[in-house]
Amino acid sequence: VAAVGIEGETGDLVLGANLEFPGTDLGTTVHAEGFVSLRVRRRGRTLETLAVREAHPCAHCRQTLAEAEASDRLEIIDLLGHELTLAGLYPWSFRPAALGVPGDRPEPATWPGLAIAGEPPPADVATLLLAAGAQAHAPYSRAPSAVVLRLVDGPLVAAGCVESVAFNPTITATQAALVEVAALRAKPSDVAEGWLARTAGGAVDPAPGFRALLAAVAPSAGVHVLDWRAG
Ligand SMILES: [Zn+2]
């Protein structure tokens, strides 16, 4: 399954595909529509148009898309010629405003005061963790997290968590970072080392999921869990 997004600010096309991770919970799956929205978000942009083939976004993806402040302006088009809105696909939606929270925006940084506690990771990893964590969408747990993955041939990718107002459709930082791996046309098994930074004493703990997902997709990868304070 594939999907294509058009960014509002640039008109750039962003490609997405289904990601499935054998050996983990089915809940770790990222659909193409979610992939596109995560990539656009990571690029600091707004998803303006989402193009799909014939099948329309599933209920999980509709909830993921509904988290974005810009989702009421999102146009969804398909190869059958339909031009739809998210409200048309998901009437009476459950939006962040239901819990008194503004919708997700990729900018500005929500968590600028993160500080890693204890032994710091390599400087380039720390910089990426802090940048991705600053843009994490964690208004419900107030416990931002971020993941950096190093691929076997050297590149680093990073992403923060994207929480959902409905809680369980939340995209973890690990899933979002694996989207970035796929965007480099690399495989999850190419991950050589991973770092998770989580909020010390936070209301949620992404560490078990991080360890389980990396153990399934890249069993030989080095795994590091760091704590930070949200400042
Ligand atoms: Zn879906």
Q: What is the DSSP string of 27-62?
A: GG-B-HHHHHHHHHHHTT--EEEEEESSSPP-HHHH
Tell me the whole-structure pTM to 2 decimals.
Answer: 0.97
Any idea what DSSP says for residue 100? T
Query: Does 69 have pLDDT greater than 90?
Result: yes
- For residue 127, name the pLDDT band (cuts at 50, 70, 90): very high
Quick one: pLDDT at residue 83? 96
The arithmetic mean of pLDDT across residues 117-141, rounded, is: 96
Residues bordering ligand 1, an ion, CB closer than 5 Å: 31, 58, 60-61
Q: Cα(64) to centroid of ligand 1, in Å? A: 9
Decide if pLDDT at 231 tops 90: no
Centre of ligand 1 to C-alpha 142, Å, is 26
Is pLDDT of 33 > 90? yes
Structure tokens at 117: 């506690």
